[in-house]
Structure 1
Amino acid sequence: MTTPQTTLPPAHTEAPGNLAAQLATLVERRGWTDRPAFHQGHSSFTHGEVHDLAARAATVLADHGVRPGHRVLLALPDSVTWVTAFLATARLGAVAVLVNPELPADDHAFMAEDTGAALCVTGPGLDDRFPHRTRLGADQLVALTRTAAPTTTAHQVDAHTPLYIQYTSGTTGRPKGVVHGHGDPKTYHDLIGRRLLRITPDDVTLSVSKLFFAYGFGNAFAFPLFSGSSAVLVDRRPNPAAVDELVVRHRVTLLYSVPSAYAALVADRAGGHTACFASVRAAISAGEGMPAGVGAQLTELLGAPVLEQIGSTEAGHAFCANSFLHNRPGTVGRPVPGFEVELRDRAGHPVPDGEEGELWTRGPTLTPGYLNRPEETGRALVGGWLNTRDLARREPDGTFTHLGRADDMEMVGGITVSPLEVESVLRTHPAVAEVAVVAVTDRLGASRLRAFVVPATPVPTGLEEELVRLARDHLAAFKVPRSVSFVTSLPRTPTGKLRRHLVRQGAW
């Protein structure tokens, strides 16, 4: 994406509560106009270019009917186009709907319907999606932006005006839309990026987690734009070799990923790439628990601390985290400044230090609720507190140790997956009598989905491949089991309920 000039929209027309206006004004005031903001492939884009492109893209979106309050669905890979489309949506006072572009068509259709999307901006391979909605391809947006005049006036909003919606899976497998406001991204940066990670304009970020996830959104969007630093954007999840190359090429200082990807990086260390990470000053980990031993190996490999944290889509980013000042490996650290964290039993009563409890949190960026889900909002948000459904233990030094989930959700590669959804697909195969899908740990310490299947008949040749193919045809890639084990029965209670914890352990 290129532009003939990099003049920012006039500061006097900016609306101070509007995120796009806040950032454009900040760039001018701090003198960051010519500093790099994003690296994509072999190109770099300055902060000035990004905000100029966003102002022009806002004109394109307005020409396609986008008005204040409208929802604009972004089904795009990580790219400068993603960033400018988001900022353009914000400038117009519309609401961005952030979705994984690799989701199945049914999930995309549901999200478009659930949000009432007025416009869908789509990436490669999605030309046939959203047939009943106005659609704008990424290439079209880029081409039209080059010649569009900038939208210089940002729509007036306040910090609580809805800015974006991200989806998180529910226990039934149906995703829930989580709403966040214009003031939230700055708060992510102020509380986490600036205070805990000490990000400066000289930092270069590489986030394996993508922009459409809460973790990646803070890492590679909010932190760079509010700090004057830069981020490397990659359209696909990089493998260990790609991470090496990107870190060296861009001299990455902050590496964000999930434990399973870090485990793969450690396992690949025989390639002799330790020197590649000389520029890295910290690795941040979230999404699931770090496998035993991997954190220490990663610290040795990088020659830099590993800072574990925990967050949620509902909180927008991390609410409990380790930092440079207080880092206790094996824990998710202490509450982020501005957040409170409590552990409660099932009756809602606080539990003492050293005992397991359900993790509740409240803080400044907690969502006001789920889109179109008042009952589920009422169950998850009680008295201003969020029941995360995570299990944890508070240590005497005030840090928290994460102990897994309180429900049946599985965590794979930092993404929460409903096994019920996967099981319902696999049960459609006539050779499947019963099935349970759980996350198991492989030899590298990474979590992988495995399906345990009770066959209806003697196992026919090629059944494992057929089941994996069936899942791949109907589910997002991260929900597809990596392996299938055939068993004679599944562990159940006397009332017939599945003992999923025993399936995870293989202890029946």
Structure 2
Amino acid sequence: MNPANGNAAAHFVDRHVEEGRADKPAFVECGPGGRSLTYGELASESGRMADLFCRHGIPPEARAAMIVLDQVEFPVIFWGSLRAGVIPVPLNTLLSPDYYEIILDDSRARALFVSHELLPVVAPLLPRLKHLKAVFVIGGEPGAHLSFADELAASETGGTAQAEPDECAFWLYSSGSTGRPKGVRHVHGSLKATADTFGAQVLGIREDDTVLSAAKLFFAYGLGNAMTFPMAAGATAALFRGRPTPADMFAAMAELRPTIFCGVPTLYAGMVAHMAKETPGGLDRLRICVSAGEALPAEIGNRWKAQTGADILDGVGSTEMLHIFLSNAPGDIVYGTSGIAVPGYQVRLVDEAGREVGAGEVGELLVNGPSAADGYWNQRDKSRSTFEGHWTRTGDKYERTADGRFVYCGRTDDMFKVSGIWVSPFEVEQALVSHPDVLEAAVVAHKDEAGLEKPRAFVVLKNGHAPDGLAETLKEHVKAKVGAWKYPRWIDIVPDLPKTATGKVQRFKLREGA
């Protein structure tokens, strides 16, 4: 490894071979027939990617799209691209063909790596993508395309390209909780920045840890959980390629006995409900958990702690900041809050005029830290309105308590006023899920007959059916919990809530359908 090389792969891949971890598993796949990948194998296999790109006319700085499940090929392609100077663009594996076409065209991807299970989704649109030069299929029959395994095996192993820490390394597309995804450009130095801050100083990840993340690698949160953080420490990450249901997550835990588990609030709620019916195995080594994506209701955090013995570090991050920058920490946890700034980051709350607000007031959260994105691709106005010098606008509304902790109030677009006073949808949702019959809840603004905005709640029940008079019971429950004027005037019992693949509730869809 060249000490002066700012290529992130030098730190996260090459270093481990030099420090004697070549034979240690870096990744293990969950389930029957699951494969493993050692740090040495990752270095060797990822080192072949430069030759693979060269042979197929994919130059450095070109984009290589990845529609890849959480499997051992993902880190090979991601780190191999960085080593080659090519820019990997991991994509959500649950998008529709229309979205894939928009993103592949927007990114001008020259190469596409796709898991064979997902090839039928994108195959019809591939002939229309004028920038695409090569399609590599992972597993299965490649058909008219290239076999990734065969092409990698035919490639020569090389070194790591020289890069600067401030050089563009990879793109992520925003999860789309508010509409059309945006290409977020990140530099090499941001990966180590998140590992040195949240990974090392808050999570406290160690070389002997085994990490299981329900959040997928294509998501900024999952990329840190299951790749950046464990690889920074020389730990082992478990890869789960399926959809993370509570039953499947507990099965993976029973198989791998992780020490760290990373999920999202919706999943934790489902897992808590699952544990009420049966006691799962595989929790004996669990020492800490992480939650992000949306704020974790206090009720869920307390019940998880009571049932598993492990605390959940609830925090907030974003695709634009790459990972968590505001969080609770071991020994300093207050459920129902997002904690305080992660070491290395600064946060502040401002009103609509940009003035800082005081304790107890609601303001938009701005963050300053070393992992901020280099901007959006092809969306200059969006970049200017989000990235203001050293500060990044998160679009989240927060309140700071007198003791300096931050309490989530909702997305800027989700907040609304009732009788001239701000209402936090999240506060009402927390009150609803504290009722024993409620599994999930989402609250949006809805206009009454006078054209005034009032809270409307969409509720998913634990047992699937509503007891007589439940709607009125829930209204009174909310009044008692958070105040008479905040209660939902309408309550819709629904089978599920619309969510992104990363578990965020898409409230804009609820507003549109209300």
User: Which interval holds the TM-score relative to the shorter structure?
Assistant: 0.7 to 0.9
8 Å contact from structure 2 (residues 85, 161) kept in 1: yes
In structure 2, the partner of 1:440 is: 458
Amino acid of the structure 2 residue aligned with 1:315: M
**Helix, strand or coil at the partner of 1:221:** helix
In structure 1, the partner of 2:212 is: 206
In structure 1, the partner of 2:158 is: 151
In structure 2, the partner of 1:108 is: 100
Structure 1, unpaired ranges of 5+: 1-10, 420-437, 447-467, 483-497
In structure 2, the partner of 1:345 is: 351
Q: Which deviates the most, 259-268 or 104-113?
A: 104-113
**Helix, strand or coil at the partner of 2:359:** coil
Quick one: structure 1 residues 379 and 112, their matched pair in 2 at CA, closer, same or farther if it must change by over 3 Å?
Answer: same
Q: 2:43 aligns with which of 15, 28, 51?
A: 51
For each residue in 1:46-76, what CA deviation from the matched residue of structure 2 results, as whole angstroms up to 9, or x when unmatched?
Answer: 1111121111233223322221110111111
8 Å contact from structure 1 (residues 291, 445) kept in 2: no
TM-score (norm 1): 0.78
Quick one: structure 1 residues 121 and 254, their matched pair in 2 at CA, closer, same or farther if it must change by over 3 Å?
Answer: same
In structure 1, the partner of 2:126 is: 130
Q: Are 1:221 and 2:214 counterparts?
A: no
In structure 1, the partner of 2:248 is: 242
Amino acid of the structure 2 residue aligned with 1:392: Y
In structure 1, the partner of 2:400 is: 394
**Helix, strand or coil at the partner of 2:109:** coil
8 Å contact from structure 1 (residues 274, 301) kept in 2: no
CA–CA separation in structure 2 for the residues paired with 1:109 and 1:254: 36
Q: Are 1:64 and 2:82 counterparts?
A: no
CA–CA separation in structure 2 for the residues paired with 1:379 and 1:230: 39
CA–CA separation in structure 2 for the residues paired with 1:480 and 1:295: 17
8 Å contact from structure 1 (residues 260, 445) kept in 2: no
Amino acid of the structure 2 residue aligned with 1:190: D
CA–CA separation in structure 1 for the residues paired with 2:352 and 2:319: 22
Quick one: structure 1 residues 500 and 40, their matched pair in 2 at CA, closer, same or farther if it must change by over 3 Å?
Answer: closer
* Shift in Å, 1:368: 2.1
In structure 2, the partner of 1:32 is: 21
8 Å contact from structure 2 (residues 177, 504) kept in 1: no
Q: 2:378 aligns with which of 333, 352, 372?
A: 372
For each residue in 1:81-112, what CA deviation from the matched residue of structure 2 results, as whole angstroms up to 9, or x when unmatched?
Answer: 11100111101111111111221111111111
Q: How does 1:6-25 map to 2 (within 5 A)?
A: 11=1, 16-25=5-14
- Report the count of equivalent residues: 434
CA–CA separation in structure 1 for the residues paired with 2:290 and 2:231: 19
* Shift in Å, 1:380: 1.2
Quick one: structure 1 residues 136 and 380, their matched pair in 2 at CA, closer, same or farther if it must change by over 3 Å?
Answer: same
* Shift in Å, 1:174: 1.5
Q: 1:99 aligns with which of 88, 91, 95?
A: 91
In structure 2, the partner of 1:230 is: 236
**Helix, strand or coil at the partner of 1:206:** strand
CA–CA separation in structure 1 for the residues paired with 2:315 and 2:334: 11
Amino acid of the structure 2 residue aligned with 1:87: W
8 Å contact from structure 1 (residues 57, 141) kept in 2: no
**Helix, strand or coil at the partner of 2:229:** helix
* Shift in Å, 1:117: 0.7
CA–CA separation in structure 1 for the residues paired with 2:504 and 2:213: 23
8 Å contact from structure 1 (residues 274, 302) kept in 2: no
Q: How does 1:282-321 map to 2 (within 5 A)?
A: 282-321=288-327
Amino acid of the structure 2 residue aligned with 1:79: Q
**Helix, strand or coil at the partner of 1:277:** coil
Identity among equivalent positions (%) equals 32
CA–CA separation in structure 1 for the residues paired with 2:509 and 2:49: 52
CA–CA separation in structure 2 for the residues paired with 1:366 and 1:499: 29
CA–CA separation in structure 1 for the residues paired with 2:175 and 2:84: 29
8 Å contact from structure 2 (residues 255, 282) kept in 1: no
Supply the RMSD in Å over aligned alpha carbons.
3.4
CA–CA separation in structure 1 for the residues paired with 2:505 and 2:210: 34
Quick one: structure 1 residues 43 and 136, their matched pair in 2 at CA, closer, same or farther if it must change by over 3 Å?
Answer: closer
In structure 1, the partner of 2:367 is: 361
Amino acid of the structure 2 residue aligned with 1:316: L
8 Å contact from structure 2 (residues 266, 503) kept in 1: no
Q: How does 1:261-300 map to 2 (within 5 A)?
A: 261-300=267-306
**Helix, strand or coil at the partner of 2:199:** helix
**Helix, strand or coil at the partner of 1:293:** helix
CA–CA separation in structure 2 for the residues paired with 1:298 and 1:397: 25
Quick one: structure 1 residues 59 and 198, their matched pair in 2 at CA, closer, same or farther if it must change by over 3 Å?
Answer: same
Q: Which deviates the most, 394-403 or 311-320?
A: 394-403
CA–CA separation in structure 2 for the residues paired with 1:319 and 1:59: 37
**Helix, strand or coil at the partner of 2:393:** strand
**Helix, strand or coil at the partner of 1:244:** helix
In structure 2, the partner of 1:323 is: 329
CA–CA separation in structure 1 for the residues paired with 2:463 and 2:296: 9
**Helix, strand or coil at the partner of 1:237:** coil
* Shift in Å, 1:476: 7.6
* Shift in Å, 1:172: 6.7
In structure 2, the partner of 1:6 is: none
TM-score (norm 2): 0.77
